[in-house]
Amino acid sequence: MLPPFNFDNSFARTFKGFFVPCKAARAPAPKLLQFNHALAEELGLDPAALDSEAGLAVFSGNATPVGAEPLAQAYAGHQFGGYAPQLGDGRALLLGEVIDTRQQRRDIQLKGSGPTPFSRGGDGKATLGPVLREYLIGESMHALGIPTTRALAAVTTGEHVYRERPLPGAVLTRIAASHIRVGTFQFFAARGGADKVRELADYAIARHYPGTAAAENPYLAFFEAVSEAQAALVAGWMNIGFIHGVMNTDNMTISGETIDYGPCAFMDTYNPETVFSSIDAQGRYAYGNQPVILSWNLTRLAETLVPLVDADKDRAIELLTDAIQRIHPLYEKHWLAGMRSKLGLSTEDLGDLDLAHDLLWVMKDGQADFTLFFRRLSQVLRGDDDAVRSLLEQPGAFDVWTRRWRKRLEREGTPAEACAQAMDRVNPIYIPRNPKVEEALAAAVDREDMKPFSKLLAVLNHPFDEAAGNEDYTEPAPATDIPYRTFCGT
């Protein structure tokens, strides 16, 4: 017998008609591949009891724990700019919500647990590669300090799932502050009108932004709070070279957590046009376009809030338009704050934005590896310019930039070594390098060998602490004529 999860399912209580109660498909021969003890503890669960046959039964969907009310949530969304009126959990089930040890409400969701009424012809299943990819990259993002959904467990189901070839079926247990998306608001607006959007907004305010309830205009304040959280999130992505790959409105959370690691990947050589996803032919979700999409997606959220923000529609649109126009400056504020710490700056100077932008030009021009470049910048302060210079095709422009940067640092007067150490605490040495991710997934999928995955996960759990013996985890993908491609294929 498992100790209880102490579920408290507020979504199921509140939104009847906007979800469908559902049962997970039976997994014929499940196996627990990965279990996140630290996260289980944070959730107030009993890790030892769950890392077991009984836990496996829950994480595979074969047993419904006491108090769980498995359901598929309905949502809509703009996918690559086109509106899809009905998406919803087509291969996922919300088991329920728990209150964690920090008194935060968290969703527990199974992803890959079989068809639901929202499967739209899909099989509702997930395959092992994408499940492990979400586990790895999500946990890496968490260690990098980026808000994200988390992975509690990964299991194989013992059945084959058919994609281009038969692949091992798998289920990810995902933890989220909530699974409410911009697309959830779009669905509620389309199906329930202003009253239903108000119920959802009240719920989201209470759950994620309780401070906004007392504002003069709570729904406008709510929109501003979501904008702030998402602007900070996308700035965080940009500061570490992360490309989400499929920033549809159904993949953008209200909480401000990164969600749905499909075709995402980290950029090697700095180039704002970088796209990895095989289905993003137009580059809509390219690295450098992410801040633009941030505003575009939040505008879709704003549209649903018009009737709530003011009884006078024109006034509501005016207020929301002003708020939308503040998103980009908000994003820039967060981005620049991130860049300042990447550059070892602890004060603000009017010239910092130019200093940061000019560095990006140097990097682009010199085709520098994004992660190594920032990591090695601290070496300049330790007297070794060549570590960075060797990453650039023509280091001349960098030398000029370095003089400006050093002058700026001198004005702050922080001792060089203290500054270098502060930089090493924000510029990671270990990110999920594409060849290492592929190697770990291939070993697990093709040879049932989880060792490369475990080792990579261990390295990624400490992204800022350089350790001897892990040099090959810092290597960019070798330059080839064939660009690295990622697939949704979940």
Chain contacts with ligand AMP (rule: CB under 6 A): 87-91, 118-119, 122-125, 246, 250-251, 260, 262, 488, 490
d(Cα 368, Cα 31) in Å, to the nearest integer? 42
Nearer to ligand AMP, 122 or 166 (CB): 122
109 part of the interface to Mg ion, by CB under 5 A = no
Nearer to ligand AMP, 264 or 320 (CB): 264
The residue from 89, 250, 260, 424 that is catalytic is: 250
Rounded to a whole number of angstroms, the minimum distance from the CB of residue 262 to ligand AMP is 5
CB 343 within 8 A of CB 405: yes
251 part of the interface to Mg ion, by CB under 5 A = yes
Can you name the residues that pair with 57 across neighbouring β-strands? none
99 binding partner (options Mg ion, ligand AMP, none; Cβ < 5 to 8 Å by kind): none
Q: Residue 162 in 3-state DSSP?
A: strand
125 binding partner (options Mg ion, ligand AMP, none; Cβ < 5 to 8 Å by kind): ligand AMP
Rounded to a whole number of angstroms, the minimum distance from the CB of residue 465 to ligand AMP is 33
262 binding partner (options ligand AMP, Mg ion, none; Cβ < 5 to 8 Å by kind): ligand AMP
Q: Residue 84 in 3-state DSSP?
A: strand
Rounded to a whole number of angstroms, the minimum distance from the CB of residue 161 to ligand AMP is 8
**Structure tokens that stand for 228 in this block:** 């702030």
186 part of the interface to Mg ion, by CB under 5 A = no
d(Cα 460, Cα 430) in Å, to the nearest integer? 6
Strands 166-176 and 105-111: antiparallel
Q: Environment class of residue 482 by beta-carbon count within 10 Å: exposed (0-12), middle (13-18) or buried (19+)?
A: exposed
Rounded to a whole number of angstroms, the minimum distance from the CB of residue 74 to ligand AMP is 10
d(Cα 123, Cα 488) in Å, to the nearest integer? 15
Q: What is the DSSP string of 251-294?
A: G-BSS--B---SS-EE-SB--TT---BTT-TT-TT-GGGHHHHH
Rounded to a whole number of angstroms, the minimum distance from the CB of residue 441 to ligand AMP is 17
257 part of the interface to Mg ion, by CB under 5 A = no
CB count within 10 Å of CB 187 equals 26
Nearer to ligand AMP, 258 or 474 (CB): 258
Nearer to ligand AMP, 177 or 330 (CB): 177
Nearer to ligand AMP, 91 or 300 (CB): 91
Q: In the annotation, is 250 catalytic? A: yes
Helix locations, 367-395, DSSP H: 370-381, 386-389
Q: Give residues in contact with Mg ion (CB under 5 A).
A: 251, 260
Positions marked catalytic: 250
